[in-house]
Amino acid sequence: MLARNAWEKRKLSEVTNLITKGTTPREKGGRGEVNFIKVENLSKNGNIFTTSKVSVSEHQGYLARSILQENDILFSIAGSLGRTAIVPKLVLPANTNQALAIIRLSTGCVEFVATYLSGEAIDRYIRRNPTVGAQPNISLTQVASLQIDWPSLHEQEVISKLFARVKDLIAATQSRLSSLELLKKALLQDLFI
């Protein structure tokens, strides 16, 4: 059993090498060779799908500060606050815009931190601390000061595996539900033509 009362409180800035955000590309066509990830490319279950691209020259030029690496955590800081995803190798090379914070860990389990950032404690923090303008947002300073419950690395890994299993069960259940809905639709069409 995990001893939660023995966990430390750590600011996100204490366990990271980098917390930054991207830039808006000047070219608005969405074409190029490099994936460009925006908030709308993060699904609620933590997956990333790509629809936009930028050129290699943009990616390596004025967008260079937001070049993504494998296992970076993307965390939405504008619009749909709190969406979280881990950058997988298969979307690279990739870049992002200013609505997503890039969080690069220096220590700890990336899956644990991403899971923690997608949890209720962070939702409560965001609701208490948004900067409201044209759309709700939180600053990089606020992201860096997020307090995280910090167990041992072993406990982080155990917790991450547990949540990965739950996520897989949810995906399997949703897939089965979709199949049953299609079956129902087909039966209704066959029976009530």
Give the residue ranges of the chain where pLDDT is below 70. 1-5, 29, 130-134, 193
Residue 5 is predicted with a pLDDT of 61
| Confidence (pLDDT) at 35 | 92
Helix (H, G, I), strand (E, B) or coil at 1: coil
Give 149's strand partners: 9
Q: pTM for the full model?
A: 0.82
**What pLDDT does 25 receive?**
85
Q: Are 66 and 102 in contact (CB under 8 A)?
A: yes
Q: Taking the CB of residue 186, how many other CB atoms lie within 10 A of it?
A: 10
39-74: burial string, b at 16+ Cβ within 10 Å, e else: bebbeeebebeeebbbbeebbeeebeebbbeeebbb
pLDDT at position 14 is: 95
Give the separation between CA 50 and CA 77, rounded to whole angstroms. Answer: 19
Q: CA 178, 51, 42, 25: dihedral to nearest 10 degrees?
A: -170
